[in-house]
Amino acid sequence: MQKLLSQSQKLDAKEKYIQKCVKCRKEHIGFSKKCDKCGGMIELFYNLKNFERKKSSNSYERFFDILPIKNKKNLMWLGEGNTPLIHSKKIGKKIGLKNLYLKCEGTGPTQTTKDRMATVSLSYLYENSIKEFVTASTGNTGTSYAHGILKHPYFKMHLVYHGSPSRLNFEMNENIKIYRVKGDFVNSCAQAMNFAHKNKLVFEGGFFNPGRREGLKMAFIESIEQMSQEPDWYFQAVSSSMGVVGTYKAAQELISVDLLEKKPKLGCIQQKSCNPMVRAWKNKSEKILPKHIIENPQGIAKAILRGNPTNTYPIVRDLVIQSKGLFEDVTRNEIIKAVHLLKSRENLDCSPESGVALSGLIKATENGLVDKDEVILVNLTGGIRKRNIYPKEFNYI
């Protein structure tokens, strides 16, 4: 990926970005998820020699030059961004860390970092003439997309969903259809792809939609602006790990434009009841094997219940190795204690997924994998929703 970043500097002055396969380097045009030659992940590489951090209160406008949107009029902003960053001396003292920073993503329109994903993904889809698409969700993605569509009614979304209606938090609209299915999230994704194929619609791609990863990287970019020190570590709860992959790419881009000096080590944390990546990592496996897969996973952190990340694990594993990072899992009790710690020490109402990230850091510190003097950035990816508005109209496939 580093070589491709250097190649992006050679773009024609009028080109904003190119899309290339990270494996075979074939260039792709238009909305692309996987390489049509080798099946590799498609990544976006910007004309970094034209980069200029703009003067704006909107972080998407400030870093417009490293987002996959060519016309600012096409920015489908939900209203999120500039979320608080806390230098948490209170929690740091409690767990033995001097330089602990918390990025609080629970203050956006739907109280999760997925709002960033929706903003950039919808903008990217729009510029590629895709205004009707199929997706699957554990709740947060569907909610963020729905809020984006309600605010920018240019799209029609077909959402395939398997969970409780209470995990979806939006008002129904004629541009949104929900299809209930049985099973787990992996089955929802399979059903969504089949539905899209059968009805000749676009499946928006999940992890492999570049717009998603480009949106999620914005939490890290904002953090670098806000922090007084550069992070040695970046911790986040993971499912497919698209936020971590986006973050590592953002670090490389910021280094290339002299806004950062080093890439952070990556701490990828899962709950013990749904930990296929951790199982594979501790088995020293390069890929997810059948024994690592968890069928119909359960757990307190419902947004990261992906029991089979076969397609994405090798990608994030390579980045964790490059960064000299780690995978770790945590128990339900450890997650609950971390959520309580965030509330008692910093008065933060955080989701279990945020507790997963913090408890993973605590465990890594106790195991001697994180030094007390290192600078740590933890992405608290969600808060607690206050709006009890659930969709009541469902279809079935």
Q: What is the DSSP string of 275-343?
A: -HHHHHHHTT-SS--GGG--SS---S-GGG--S--TTTHHHHHHHHHHHT-EEEEE-HHHHHHHHHHHH
Same domain, 12 and 130: no
pLDDT in the model for residue 7: 55
Instruction: For 71-130, write each residue's pLDDT tens digit.
Output: 999 999 999 999 999 999 999 999 999 999 999 999 999 999 999 999 999 999 999 999
Q: Which amino acid is at 143?
A: T
Distance CA 167, CA 144 (A): 12
**CA gap 214, 198 in Å, rounded:** 29
Q: How much is the pLDDT for 14?
A: 79
The amino acid occupying position 371 is D
Q: Are strands 156-161 and 176-180 parallel, antiparallel or unpaired?
A: parallel
At 18-32, the pLDDT tens digits run 999 999 999 999 999
What's residue 5's pLDDT?
A: 55
Q: Is the pLDDT of residue 193 over 70?
A: yes
Share of the chain above pLDDT 90, in %: 92
At residue 3, the pLDDT reads: 53
Interval 241-249 mean pLDDT: 99
Mean local confidence (pLDDT), 351-378: 99
* Mean pLDDT over the full length of the chain: 96
Confidence of residue 388 (pLDDT cuts 50, 70, 90): confident
pLDDT score of 16: 97
Same domain (yes/no): 11, 131: no
Q: Which of 74, 103, 120 represents a domain boundary (last residue)? A: 74
- 115 and 241 assigned to the same domain: yes
CA 353, chain centre distance (Å): 12
Residues 183 and 288 in one domain: yes
The reply to whether 87 and 62 lie within a common domain is: no
53, 74, 95: which is the final residue of a domain?
74
Q: What is the DSSP string of 140-159?
A: HHHHHHHHHHHHSTT-EEEE
Question: Are residues 230 and 176 both part of a single domain?
Answer: yes
One domain, residues 103 and 53:
no
**pLDDT of residue 264 exceeding 80:** yes
Q: Could you tell me what percent of the chain has a pLDDT over 70? A: 97
Same domain for 68 and 201, yes or no, is no
User: Last residue of some domain: 45, 74, 103?
Assistant: 74
29 and 177 in a single domain? The answer is no
Identify whether the C-beta of residue 62 lies closer than 8 Å to the C-beta of residue 217.
no
pTM: 0.96
- Exposure string of 29-40, with b = 16+ CB inside 10 Å and e = fewer, is eebbbbbeeeeb
Domain match, 173 and 268 both? yes
Range of the domain at 229: 83-397
For residue 180, name the pLDDT band (cuts at 50, 70, 90). Answer: very high
Give residue 183's pLDDT. 94
The CATH code of the domain that includes 261 is: 3.40.50.1100
Looking at the structure, tell me whether residues 20 and 97 fall in a common domain: no
Does 99 lie in the same domain as 45?
Answer: no
| 132 bridge partner residues | 156
Contacts of 126 (CB under 8 A, 6+ apart): 74, 76, 154, 155
Tens of pLDDT, residue by residue over 50-80, are 999 999 999 999 999 999 999 999 999 999 9
Of 47, 55, 42, 52, which is closest to residue 11 (Cα–Cα)?
47
> Is residue 150 over pLDDT 80?
yes
Domain count along the chain:
2
Is residue 338 within 8 Å of 358, Cβ to Cβ?
Answer: yes
Please give the single-letter amino acid code of residue 108. Answer: G
When pLDDT is cut at 50, 70 and 90, the band that residue 4 belongs to is very low
